[in-house]
């Protein structure tokens, strides 16, 4: 028989067990891990000690279970809300980020270069994501009004409820865990956070990413004025925690600048070069003889006598270089001698003026002091929408641009993921960066359709949910970029985005527990499942679910290869999908001639054609084509 396409998201825990079994085949039997045998192979002795270093909180076990529960939802396209749907490589996804991150596991595993998120800070007014992990997608459909909801209230974390660290950690844990899977080996994540949860967040990320992959705790100066309402100090800063997927593959993109040419006040007649003097003896920390004994040795001064290094405090010092390097300086006449006020000879190294093309590498600083402020983010939205306060406390796009420039190569098709997208600052940052350097960076933004307040500016402009604000922001940014490039008929950077929406699967999911035990009723249920497609779903909806569940990216190339039939080529023929309601022998022959890597069609297309289906399985196997039905 042919293989059935799984409609569930990737089982990330099973993948880890499989990887463990690859490394230690002795400890995994029939899909289960023998913990005691694993300890034995790792050389860990059994211990009965109850006390150990551990980061835990109320509900952590349920948060871990949330990772293990696959999603059976899907993402359906909204072409009418998109810009340049057929050609763009950018994505905006409406939906609960936990469900969406699960659905992206097959298609985007190990493909994201940079993640930036600005999650809820757990303040009094933050939106609370549901932490009932039993139903997953059904919770999302209820609180977004897609299905009836009885008493399922999703609200802000009001002062009367208090700030529950455990609730916040339960929300963040599975999302960060799944997000890490999506990063490339040289990928990096930046997380904005305030003092309220910064300590818990670092412990959480140490557990998920590993302490060894911690890169930096960046301090961002978010404002320079105001703050008189603050209780004690005026809080001017927030944090951005930075972690690598694998520190061994992590690198910041080097920033270079011309070397400084000031202070070169001396001239070497032989070499016809300007130079400045730098003391050959070490100063500052580590300047004593005992710090580097091998760097304490004599030099012959112009009087033919020996001169030893002296530390700033008058004790025996050390040279800045070892014997070999100093010998080379002497040989090349790169040492100047000068007597001090006491008549002692002092050696100086000649540091020559750099050439015009000489560059120096600038190390990034851990304090972002004057990059951008919160007011810049608010002003950006005001300029785009023409009114103030469309969205509260948006991050400035210059902040995201600065981070992206640190890690994303401009001309590689590298992806930035933001799964707490808010008003889509990250999307604006990527689009405008690409316009500046003609780059090829891409973005994926995920935002839950959280309702805007009834008395808000956004509501008065006709927006009902935050994702509507975000999508319109991206459209306005694209319009601005198009208008500034209207004389360029060959714009090569990506000015578009595809919109997808989280919803239930396009296919009816058989639930054995709800199946009737009455033979006649069961027969009727089975009859209804002959056509297992949900009412109201389009061929395009079905096509993209098949792509997603088959491990293809939502922006992979899609071509209709037969105008008279629902026959599609994905990624230049890697996958061919047939959505015809009936398949015949001629169509099967045509598919084999195209020789795709995979072929997927509707199972119902073989209804009452068991012999054809059997023959098709054999022919595809012989041709080396993976054949699945759905």
Ranking 25-34, 371-380, 486-495, 565-574 by mean pLDDT, the lowest is 486-495
Within-domain flag for 369: no
Express as a percent the part of the chain with pLDDT over 90. 65
Among 286, 319, 353, residue at a domain's last position? 353
Whether residue 250 sits in one domain with residue 378: yes
Least confident span in 208-222, 518-532, 616-630: 518-532
| Banded model confidence at residue 153, pLDDT cuts 50, 70, 90 | very low
Mean pLDDT of 580-589: 93
297 & 437 share domain: no
Report the pLDDT value the prediction gives residue 622, as an integer from 0 to 100. Answer: 94
Higher pLDDT, 342 or 134: 342
Residue recorded with tokens 């030893």: 308
Q: Token pair 């209780």 is at which residue?
A: 231
**503, 530, 556 — which closes off a domain?**
503
Domain match, 185 and 81 both? yes
Token pair 């006020």: residue: 341
Query: Could you tell me the residue range of the domain that residue 149 belongs to?
Result: 68-164+171-192+203-216+241-255+374-503
Q: Indicate whether 231 belongs to any domain.
A: no
- Residue 325 included in any domain: yes
- How crowded is residue 220: how many other Cβ atoms within 10 Å of its Cβ? 22
Q: Yes or no: say if 283 and 312 are a contact pair by the CB < 8 Å rule.
A: yes
CA distance 226 to 509: 56
Arithmetic mean of pLDDT over the chain:
88
Q: Where residue 246 falls among pLDDT bands split at 50, 70, 90?
A: very high
- Domain shared by 90 and 211, yes or no: yes
Q: Structural domain tally of the chain?
A: 4
pLDDT for position 26: 77
| 266-268 and 335-339 beta bridge pairing | unpaired
Percent of the chain surpassing pLDDT 70: 88
Contact 283, 349 (CB under 8 A): no
Within-domain flag for 235: no
| Domain shared by 464 and 409, yes or no | yes
Calculate helix-pair angle for 466-484, 374-385, nearest 10 degrees.
80
Contacts for 95 with CB less than 8 Å, ≥ 6 apart: 75, 140, 446, 448, 449, 501, 502
Two tokens at 225?
């004025």
Tell me the H-state helices in 449-554: 457-460, 466-484, 519-528, 539-549
Same domain, 383 and 484: yes
CATH code of residue 452 = 3.40.50.150
Which residue, among 111, 90, 70, 7, has the nearest Cα to 554 in the 3D structure? 90
Q: So what's the pLDDT on residue 133?
A: 52
**Chain center to CA of 221:** 23
Residue 236 forms part of a structural domain: no
Residue 230: inside a domain, yes or no? no
- Residue 3's pLDDT is 83
Euclidean distance between CA atoms 561 and 570, whole angstroms: 10
Which residues lie closer than 8 Å to 443 by C-beta, 6 or more apart?
Answer: 90, 91, 415, 416, 417, 418, 426, 427, 430, 431, 497
Supply the pLDDT for residue 52.
76
Residue 57, in any domain of the structure: no
DSSP state of 532: -
Give the tens place of pLDDT for each residue, 481-497: 998 877 665 677 999 99
3-class secondary structure, 437: helix
Is 363 part of a structural domain of the chain?
A: no
Examine the domain organization and report whether 11 and 125 are in the same domain. no
């Amino acid at each position: 028989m042919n293989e059935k396409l799984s409609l569930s998201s990737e089982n990330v825990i099973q993948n880890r067990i499989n990887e463990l079994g690859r490394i230690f085949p002795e400890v995994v039997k029939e899909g289960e891990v023998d913990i005691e045998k694993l300890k034995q192979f790792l050389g860990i002795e059994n211990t009965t000690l109850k006390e150990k270093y551990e980061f835990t909180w109320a509900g952590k076990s349920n948060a871990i279970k949330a990772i293990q529960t696959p999603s059976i939802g899907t993402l359906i396209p909204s072409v009418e809300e998109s810009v340049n749907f057929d050609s763009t490589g950018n994505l905006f996804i409406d939906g609960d980020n936990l469900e969406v991150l699960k659905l992206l596991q097959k298609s985007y595993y190990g493909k994201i270069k940079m993640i930036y998120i600005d999650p809820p800070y757990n303040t009094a007014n933050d939106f609370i994501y549901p932490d009932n992990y039993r139903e997953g997608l059904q919770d999302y459909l209820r609180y977004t009004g897609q299905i009836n909801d009885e008493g399922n209230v999703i609200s802000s974390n009001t002062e009367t409820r208090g700030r529950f660290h455990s609730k916040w950690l339960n929300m963040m844990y599975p999302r960060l865990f799944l997000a890490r899977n999506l990063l490339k080996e040289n990928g990096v994540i930046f997380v904005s956070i305030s003092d309220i949860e910064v300590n818990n967040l670092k412990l959480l990320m140490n557990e998920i990413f590993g302490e060894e992959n911690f890169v930096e705790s960046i301090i961002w100066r978010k404002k320079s004025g105001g703050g008189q309402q603050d209780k004690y100090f005026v809080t001017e800063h927030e944090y951005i925690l930075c972690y690598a997927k694998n520190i061994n593959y992590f690198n910041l993109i080097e920033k270079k600048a011309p070397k400084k040419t000031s202070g070169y006040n001396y001239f070497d007649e032989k070499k016809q070069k300007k130079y400045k003097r730098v003391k050959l003896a070490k100063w500052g920390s580590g300047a004593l003889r005992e710090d580097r004994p091998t760097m304490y040795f004599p030099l012959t001064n112009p009087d033919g006598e020996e001169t030893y290094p002296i530390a700033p405090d008058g004790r025996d010092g050390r040279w800045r270089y070892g014997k070999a390097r100093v010998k080379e300086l002497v040989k090349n006449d790169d040492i100047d001698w000068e007597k001090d006020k006491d008549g002692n000879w002092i050696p100086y190294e000649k540091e020559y003026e750099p050439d015009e093309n000489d560059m120096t590498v600038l190390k990034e600083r851990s304090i972002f002091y004057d990059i951008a402020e919160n007011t810049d983010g608010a002003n950006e939205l005001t300029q785009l929408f023409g009114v103030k306060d469309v969205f509260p406390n948006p991050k400035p796009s210059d902040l995201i641009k600065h981070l992206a420039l640190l890690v994303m190569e401009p001309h590689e098709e590298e992806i930035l993921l933001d799964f707490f997208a808010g008003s889509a600052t990250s999307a604006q940052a990527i689009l405008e960066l690409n316009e500046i350097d003609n780059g090829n960076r891409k973005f994926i933004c995920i935002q839950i359709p959280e309702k805007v307040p009834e008395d808000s500016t956004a509501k008065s402009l006709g927006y009902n949910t935050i994702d509507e604000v975000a999508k319109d922001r991206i459209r306005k940014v694209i319009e601005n970029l198009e208008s500034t490039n209207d004389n360029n008929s060959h714009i090569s950077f990506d000015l578009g985005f595809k919109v997808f929406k989280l919803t239930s699967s396009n296919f009816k999911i058989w639930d054995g527990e709800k199946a009737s035990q009455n033979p006649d009723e069961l027969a009727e249920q089975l009859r209804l499942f002959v056509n297992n497609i949900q009412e109201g779903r389009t061929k395009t909806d079905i096509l993209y679910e098949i792509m997603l569940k088959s491990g293809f990216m939502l922006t992979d190339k899609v071509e209709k290869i037969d105008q008279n039939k629902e026959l599609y080529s994905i990624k230049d023929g890697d996958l061919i999908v047939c959505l015809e309601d009936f398949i015949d022998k001629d169509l099967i022959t045509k598919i084999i001639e195209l020789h795709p890597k995979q072929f997927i069609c509707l199972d119902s297309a073989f209804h009452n054609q068991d012999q054809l289906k059997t023959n098709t399985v054999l022919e595809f196997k012989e041709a080396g084509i993976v054949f699945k039905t759905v």
